[in-house]
Amino acid sequence: MKKIVLFLIGLTMFCTFAVAGTVADQTKGAKELKLNGGSKGEVSFTHFKHQERLGDCNICHSFFPKSPGAVEALKQKGDLKKKHIMNKLCIKCHKAEKKAGKSYGPVTCSKCHIRK
């Protein structure tokens, strides 16, 4: 009887954590993202790694909302110029980190864009 009670308590705790985990993941978005890189090919983006390293969501999300396909939608509407995010956000930061002598992300075309 005692074992069953302990098992049930354990199961309840496990479920609570499992649910909490899913909710947290939803608000943080996807771990890895694929961005539309037009004719140059798709761009893989390590979302969580950037979140952890940079800390502040607004470094990026002041440019576009926290929703899937947000960048593409703004580009379609003409509210964001083509390559604006690429040049004014991604590459700008990678270059700055490189200059500062820290570990940095790709600054050359083919390191970001993957041709299929």
Give the range of 1-9, 13-21, 62-70 binding ligand HEC by CB under 6 A.
Answer: 62-70
**Whole-angstrom distance, CA of residue 110 vs CA of residue 115:** 8
Q: Evaluate the CA torsion angle 71, 73, 79, 80 in order and state its sign.
A: positive
Is residue 29 within the footprint of ligand HEC (CB under 6 A)? yes
Is residue 38 within the footprint of ligand HEC (CB under 6 A)? yes
Within 8 A by CB and 6+ apart from 74, the residues are 64, 80
Enumerate binding residues for ligand HEC (CB under 6 A). Answer: 27-30, 33, 35, 37-40, 43-47, 49-51, 53-54, 57, 59-61, 66-72, 75, 82-86, 89-91, 93-94, 97, 103-109, 111-113
